[in-house]
Amino acid sequence: MLGVDVGGTFTDVVSVRDGRVEVTKVPSDPADPAAPVVEGARRLGLEGQPVFNHASTMGLNAVITRTLPKVAFLTTEGHRDILDRGRIWRPPVRQSDPSWRRSFGDAARPLVPRYLRRGVCERLLADGSVHLPLDEEQARRQLAVLKRCAVEGVAICLLNAYVDAAHERRLRELTHEVLGDEVAVSISSETSPLAKEYARASTTVIDVFMKLIFTGYAHRLAEGLGEAGFAGELNFADCAATLLPWSEALEKPFRIVHAGPAAGTMSSARLGEALGERNLVCCDVGGTSTDVSLVVDGQPFVDNTFELEHDLIINALSTEISSVGAGGGSIVSISSSGDVLVGPASAGSDPGPACYGRGGTQPTVTDAALLMGILDPEAFAAGALRLDEELARRAFESLETPLGFEQRVGFAFRIAVANIAEEVTNVVLRRGGDPRDFTLIAYGAAGPMLLPAALDLLHVGRVVIPPHPGNFSALGLLSTDLVYYDSRSAYVPLFPESAPQIAAVFEEMERGLRARAGQDGEVRRSFDGRLFGQSWETPFVQVPDGPITAETIPELVERFHQAYERRYGNRFPYVPVQGVSYRVELRVPSEKVEFAPLEAGGEATPTRTIELRRLGSGPLEAAEYDRDSLPPGARIAGPAVIREGLATTLIVPGQTAEVGRLGELLIERENAGV
């Protein structure tokens, strides 16, 4: 199996063959992004591989940097500024700033410039009846302008079109008549037939952009892989890191605008399944930031929208990930009031931490770890980079503070750990969880070094360091199913007499999904509902299996109240419930990476004894271990350091680590369970 993660700087390719994990890194090429992917895959060998799963941040990067093709937006006359208004949400820190402007706005960086947003005379009412018929002559005049402007794509989103698609379909025909068949067109009633105009409009606009960005790329990639000897399935990962065949991905490419971070959550869920752990906090500590997500009852915590930037949302299922600016490269600084600060600024990979010797002069968390003796200067990044302790020392000495050197280094490490612990706690509490019910999965290059130290602050049950923590996210691309999904909106009160209408909506979607997938799979149904009078929905209320009849409706209502209570802490059983959006997922199992059990037996033998400094009140003697030589069942008491190619695990005093049967490290407090 092969997985590839195309980032802005590097393209990472991971291969799993007979349980052996291999990784290669190729510089990304914005001019021809398919070439490095094929090159990386060639290096690891393509022949005989059954699947090639692809994730990329290309779509999101194009949107954020506004390196986008020229696209027009057609909507009902008088509503062309719907894209500027968004949901009129201000970021919390800008609530009282009168000069704040939404970046999506005409005044700043519109995705579609205002002159390419054109109104069309027509109007459907909310019940689907025609208030104004489509004025085809006026529409042709608008399209003639777009033709003169040489647009490459057109997004069409008319008011209330999710109820009746007739006007949008006719407008698409007219668009092809006037602009030609080669122009990319997306209509909202097919892209995302959901209520609420703004999310439907922005989803449709993003869909056209992604059609233009990914269509040529996907074909070149499929061709290149074929020429290199690949004959398996090519799948694309979406915002929730679930997979879809590449031809399906090109039908609704808004789903693949961003994939990558969610793969770590998938990987954690897969490991949790193998370990029998169903509630997980997934913590990916990289160079710049820490991404925190949850797996609850075996399932990643999924949202029904994905926010590309502030208030720019699309109707795509996405894994909810929260980030904090704390990682190995986070810069240590002194505030104007004399406090030690860590992050959110990062030294990144270039110049990187001072100890890299690439010109960085500001101290970072990695410099602190080196000065504390946690990192081995000779064995960093599998020996690819030699760290310079003297440069790290000078960087910390340059801080303008009356604090002593020992305090500067020790405080920097502890504050980085506390920042991450705070975010992890916030994420769990925000979702109504109790940290004590969760196990923390620590991965990313810096995760095993920082997170065990956070165990006492977090109150989670234990910390698990998975096998291959440095490549754990990429492995997530090989840990997931193919998922086809569809959703529809219909404002229907959940009364017994509404059952036929609700059943028809679900049946139509299920039929469509089975036809698209060409095979059967596990069907999951859910709906977003609200109490009568509310303007927001409670999402993902699970629908029971089997036909929906008048007898099923009370159970739907009860499940809504349960979901509402879980989310908001109260219930209103006397208020009628209204269904708003209905969703069907068809999951088709795909080949996945297996965590193979290792042979148990033997003792953990340290390679040497090292000195850890500035971790407590004085120097500590700690045993150093090579992770590859640790047999399952071995127990290690802190303080200790466990080294492997792309990560270093720190076991602090008062903790023990046990090697699990899959090679994972299970870290607990020594008095756990007392």
Partner 1 sequence: MTHTFQRPTERYLSVERRPVDGACPECGAEELAEYRVLSDGGWFDVRKCQACLCSVSREPAPPFGSYVPLGLQIAKDAGG
DSSP string computed for 348-387? TTTT-SGGG-SS--S-BHHHHHHHTT-S-TTSBGGGTB--
Shortest distance, position 114 Cβ to partner 1, whole Å: 7
Q: Tell me how far apart the alpha carbons of residues 555 and 551 are, in angstroms, rounded to a whole number.
A: 8
Select 150 or 384, whichever has its Cβ closest to partner 1.
150
Shortest distance, position 144 Cβ to partner 1, whole Å: 9
Shortest distance, position 109 Cβ to partner 1, whole Å: 13
Specify whether the backbone of 58 is left (phi greater than 0), alpha (psi in -120 to 50) or beta.
Answer: alpha
Shortest distance, position 73 Cβ to partner 1, whole Å: 14
Helices (H) and strands (E) counted in the chain, each on its own, are 17, 35
Shortest distance, position 92 Cβ to partner 1, whole Å: 22
Query: Which helix (H) or strand (E) covers residue 137, if one does?
Result: helix 136-148
Select 311 or 528, whichever has its Cβ closest to partner 1.
311
Sequence-separated (6 or more) residues with CB below 8 Å from residue 105? 84
What's the chain's length in residues? 674
Apex 644 CA angle, 333 and 15, nearest 5: 105
Shortest distance, position 106 Cβ to partner 1, whole Å: 7
Select 150 or 674, whichever has its Cβ closest to partner 1.
150
Q: Tell me how far apart the alpha carbons of residues 442 and 644 are, in angstroms, rounded to a whole number.
A: 15
Compute the half-sphere exposure of residue 540: CA atoms within 13 Å on the CB side of its CA: 12
Q: How many CB atoms lie within 10 A of CB 305?
A: 17
Helix axes 197-227, 58-65, angle to 10 degrees: 130
Shortest distance, position 657 Cβ to partner 1, whole Å: 58
Q: How many CB atoms lie within 10 A of CB 149?
A: 12
Is the separation of the CB atoms in 23 and 43 below 8 Å? Answer: no
Q: Tell me how far apart the alpha carbons of residues 608 and 617 are, in angstroms, rounded to a whole number.
A: 23
Q: Which of the 8 DSSP states describes residue 39?
A: H
Shortest distance, position 116 Cβ to partner 1, whole Å: 8
Distances from the Cα of 196 to the Cα of 77, 313, 488, 587, angstroms? 17, 12, 12, 27
Q: What are the tokens at 336?
A: 């104007």
Shortest distance, position 74 Cβ to partner 1, whole Å: 14
Query: Which helix (H) or strand (E) covers residue 17, if one does?
Result: strand 10-17
Select 115 or 405, whichever has its Cβ closest to partner 1.
115
Select 117 or 462, whichever has its Cβ closest to partner 1.
117
Select 111 or 280, whichever has its Cβ closest to partner 1.
111
Select 101 or 131, whichever has its Cβ closest to partner 1.
101
Local structure of 472: helix, strand or coil: helix
Select 140 or 613, whichever has its Cβ closest to partner 1.
140
Select 121 or 646, whichever has its Cβ closest to partner 1.
121
Select 105 or 645, whichever has its Cβ closest to partner 1.
105
Select 81 or 510, whichever has its Cβ closest to partner 1.
81
Shortest distance, position 115 Cβ to partner 1, whole Å: 4
Select 115 or 491, whichever has its Cβ closest to partner 1.
115
Query: Which helix (H) or strand (E) covers residue 644, if one does?
Result: strand 640-644
Query: To which residue do tokens 């710049």 refer?
Result: 288
Residue 237: strand pairing partners: 243
Backbone angles phi, psi at 394, to 5 degrees: -60, -40
Shortest distance, position 156 Cβ to partner 1, whole Å: 18
DSSP string computed for 248-306? HHTTSGGGGS--SHHHHHHHHHHHHHHHT---EEEEEE-SS-EEEEEEETTEE-EES-E
> Beta-strand (E) ranges in 537-619?
538-542, 577-588, 608-612
Select 116 or 531, whichever has its Cβ closest to partner 1.
116
Is the separation of the CB atoms in 374 and 381 below 8 Å? Answer: no
Select 42 or 117, whichever has its Cβ closest to partner 1.
117
Shortest distance, position 189 Cβ to partner 1, whole Å: 27
Q: What are the tokens at 613?
A: 């400094």
Is the separation of the CB atoms in 465 and 442 below 8 Å? Answer: yes
Shortest distance, position 119 Cβ to partner 1, whole Å: 11
Select 151 or 244, whichever has its Cβ closest to partner 1.
151
CB environment 106-144: b (16+ within 10 A), e (fewer): eeeebbbeeebbbbbbbbbeeeeeeeeebeeeebeebbe
Which of 54, 523, 520 has the alpha carbon at shortest distance from 255? 54
> Which positions lie near partner 1, rule CB under 8 A?
101, 105-107, 113-115, 145, 148-150
Shortest distance, position 84 Cβ to partner 1, whole Å: 8
Shortest distance, position 383 Cβ to partner 1, whole Å: 55
